[in-house]
Homo-oligomer: A and B are copies of this chain.
């Protein structure tokens, strides 16, 4: 019996397959120049032996490191975004659960409109890139320079996507409000330049149309202050509204603050339903009924896809969004 190996190396695989290390290397990296039969055989042996290439050696030799790059787009100030917006930390949490135990680095970037910086990320990417909230332009540019990209929001068609059913969630939220007897259902939407913003709005619109309700909309960016201001405006314009569908919890928390400030009760006078099920939902007063986005699960899925190198061209996976009932309805 052979001496126990502490760690399997490419050499072991080569020997078992009766080929050279170079060939094994080519197979691992999906490089051309290997006979198909040989390639299959080597792949089989790699699987059988449960061989895992050493990422460090690979990095040293190839001059690039294995890592998952999470890229968020900078809306205004870059600093403190992670700590201040629940979404990003949930994405990181999801990625981390998968990276745990593996020898893969997690890099975080926040990009504005500096194309050079974007190209640099693609250039240095290794295991792959997870797009937290990239607009189509950015996503397409990245995808052009690096095939291993997965977006967590609907974006350029060419980019593999693991998204949530935003439109369906919004539709369900409005339907729920309607079932509660509410008939003057306003909406505070997210930005029109994000697919989340657009799809949640679409879901709202479809619902009120089917239900024969009026369109009472306002909105802006996914920030608490925006929700606060929009709710004030809405209440001013439509003093009789009895419910609000708000496109994210942060805004919904702001909306609740505004509604309270006018002397109205939540949910007595106005029901409000948020979206995301983030920490903001549970800290609001009253705590928010909301549509739960499985952000952590989505990020984990995207990461696995990247690590398994199984991101096909038009890949698309859609996660359902679920109603969580709390005190604001």
Contacts and interface: CB of A to CB of B under 8 A. Distances in A.
A306 interface: no
Contacts of A94: 83
Nearest to A85: B279
A253 B285 contact: yes
A283 interface: yes
Nearest to A59: B56
Contacts of A59: 56
Nearest to A252: B283
Interface stretch (A97-105, A207-215, A310-318): A97-105
B65 A60 contact: no
B93 A224 contact: no
A100 B107 CA distance: 8
A283 B93 contact: no
Contacts of A45: none
Contacts of A65: 56, 103
A90 interface: yes
A112 interface: no
Interface residues of A, number: 44
Given A224-B282, A260-B285, A92 B82 contact: yes
A258 B106 CA distance: 40
A54 B260 CA distance: 57
Contacts of A90: 82-83
A31 interface: no
Contact of A106 (B103, B106, B224, B285): B106
Contacts of A280: 279, 283
A262 interface: no
A57 interface: yes
Contacts of A79: 97
A86 B282 CA distance: 13
A285 B282 contact: no
18 contacts: A82-B89, A82-B90, A83-B89, A83-B90, A83-B94, A83-B279, A83-B296, A85-B279, A92-B92, A106-B106, A253-B283, A256-B285, A257-B285, A260-B285, A279-B279, A283-B283, A284-B284, A284-B285
Given A54-B60, A82-B90, 18 more contacts: A56-B56, A82-B96, A83-B93, A86-B279, A100-B108, A105-B105, A224-B282, A224-B283, A249-B283, A253-B282, A253-B284, A256-B285, A257-B285, A257-B287, A260-B285, A280-B283, A284-B284, A284-B285
